[in-house]
Structure 1
Amino acid sequence: MQTRLLLVEDDPEIARVVRDMFVREGYIVTWATTGLEGWEDFQQEHYDLALIDLMLPEMDGFTLCKNIRWESDIPLIIISARKEDEDKIEGLDLGADDYIAKPFSLKELKARVESQLRRWRRYQGIPLNENVSTYQGGLTVYWDQNKIKIEEEESILTVKEFDLLKVLAQNPERIFSKEELFNHVWRQVDQEGLHTITVHVKSLRSKLKDPVKTPRYIQTVWGKGYQFIGELM
């Protein structure tokens, strides 16, 4: 199963950057903009780790950490512009596992999240390569290792092909236009990129052994774009 993160952050610029980075890395991210919304999201879904800002509307980060810790032992990382030692100590005393001060680098945040997840999985006795999805039809995706197997045979994807598979598979309800896929994966805005998407999707389908007329994984929605239709086992 893919790793689920709960991100509770009321600054949309920071939240979008953090969310998009972790989505590209293969995580499923739920973004809440208030402490109360974060608490409601936590009660409705299973999460592997939570990233929580301290200064939140409706319910502050301290209270949210306390509420979560009463019900779960998942890793909690506080992200905050407040650098006072008292805040850090209070957060850790309430059960947070780590504290990172704004501004922070995405590289550092990613490293801290991965470190906490490794500790948590060792504590739970979960293998470190558990971040795997298996779909009907013989497709297995190893999200942490950037590789796939099709009918038990490993298939080598390019970086861009794997990134395309990630964004499609992690948003199965959504139809992506070629422009959206090019903007997301290549991070560019260029009409010439639409042909690039066509070429890469064709190559990806070939490696997935996924025929256009009877697709199991990537469906063309004529006039709109592409949608992932693979069914999890």
Structure 2
Amino acid sequence: MTTHILIIEDDPSIANLQKDYLEINHMTTTIEHDGRKGLKLALEKAFDLIIIDIMLPNMDGFEICKQIRQHKQTPIMIVSAKKEDIDKIRGLGLGADDYMVKPFSPSEMVARVQAHIKRHQTLTSDKRDAQQILEIENLTIDKGAHKVFLLDQELTFTTKEFQLLLFLAEHPNRVWSKEQLFEQVWGMDVLDSDVSTVVVHIKRIREKVKATHLADIPIETIWGSGYRFNK
């Protein structure tokens, strides 16, 4: 099956660089330079992954990411010249699976794309098994349906939030460092700049649980070490 990537990037030289490296690695690409048109394409057609720049004409990458996440769980990578932590935290908070800063290594970009697609395909294939139910106290995780329930109330998580919660729940009572979680859930060797990705996703999981006013998910921060799911 052909892997199809959507690139929403207004700089033709960067878009073509991404296209060349992805197609060398046997992936089909579609390029859109306009933000609003890129969103329309992302919602209307099926892609295996979407690469989005932030600074785009007519609609910025943050808004595109937000609107895609309201309808689809397609893996999203933000590739942007905006390198401030606040931009990365915002992008990940809106549902992006990854955030790379320009200039980037094309070979690293390809590796990250492949890792995200592989993880997403694995998760999608697991949905066929409707018997994969994990129950821990007030928490129920339906791996087959990709659903999470807290005291019978369904919570909505992005793909990476779901994968991170599931991994911790399946490996309880052990402290996992941020680097280990990044490697296990994102499927890539960790870089110093990637550690914040895990922190943001843990924060988002806790916020969504807290907003229910029902109960807590037992993810404990072990200061200086990482996180532990207590069972």
Taking structure 2 as the reference length, the TM-score comes to 0.53
- The percentage of aligned residue pairs carrying the same residue is 44
What does the per-residue CA deviation read over 1:93-151, in whole Å, with 9 as the maximum and x for residues that have no partner? 0000000000001111001101111111111117xxxxxxxxxxxxxxxxxxxxxxxxx
**Aligned pair 1:118/2:118, yes or no?**
yes
SS of the aligned residue for 1:30 comes to strand
Structure 2 counterpart of 1:76: 76
In the alignment, what sits opposite 1:98? 98
How far 1:58 moved relative to its partner?
0.3
Secondary structure at the aligned position of 2:57 is classed as coil
Q: Distance in 1 between matches of 2:43 and 2:121?
A: 21
Task: Please give the secondary structure, in 2, of the residue aligned with 1:99.
Answer: strand
Q: Unaligned 5+ residue runs, structure 1?
A: 127-233
Greater C-alpha Rg: 1
Letter in 2 for 1:106: P
- Per-residue CA deviations over 1:160-190 (Å, capped at 9, x if unaligned) read xxxxxxxxxxxxxxxxxxxxxxxxxxxxxxx
The Cα of 1:24 is off from its aligned counterpart by 2.2
Q: Is the 8 A contact 2:21 2:107 kept in 1?
A: no
**Per-residue deviation, 1:44:** 2.7
Alpha-carbon offset, residue 67 of structure 1? 0.7
Give the residue type in structure 2 aligned to 1:12. Answer: P
For the residue of structure 2 that corresponds to 1:17, the secondary structure is helix
CA distance in 2 between counterparts of 1:117 and 1:90 reads 22
The answer to whether the 8 A contact 2:35-2:56 is kept is yes
- What is aligned with 1:3? 3
C-alpha separation in 1, matches of 2:106 and 2:92: 22
- Counterpart residue type for residue 10 of structure 2: D
3-state DSSP class of the match of 2:83?
Answer: coil
Aligned partner of 1:139 in structure 2 is none
Gap regions ≥5 residues in structure 2: 127-231
> What's the offset of the Cα at 1:43?
2.6
Secondary structure, aligned partner of 1:55? coil
Residues 75-108 of structure 1: per-residue CA shift (max 9 Å, x gap): 1000000001110000000000000000001111
How many residue pairs were aligned? 126
Whole-angstrom CA distance in 1 between matches of 2:43 and 2:109: 25
Correspondence for 1:50: 50
**Aligned equivalents of 2:107, 2:5: Cα separation in 1:** 16
Give the TM-score normalised by the residue count of structure 1. Answer: 0.53
SS class of match (1:20) = helix
Corresponding residue of 1:62: 62
Contact kept in structure 1, 2:43 and 2:71, CA below 8 Å: no
Counterpart in the other structure of 1:188: none
Q: Distance in 2 between matches of 1:12 and 1:41?
A: 18
Counterpart in the other structure of 1:85: 85
| Equivalent pair of 2:35/2:59 in contact (CA under 8 Å) | yes
Task: Output the aligned Cα RMSD.
Answer: 1.1
CA distance in 1 between counterparts of 2:25 and 2:85 reads: 32
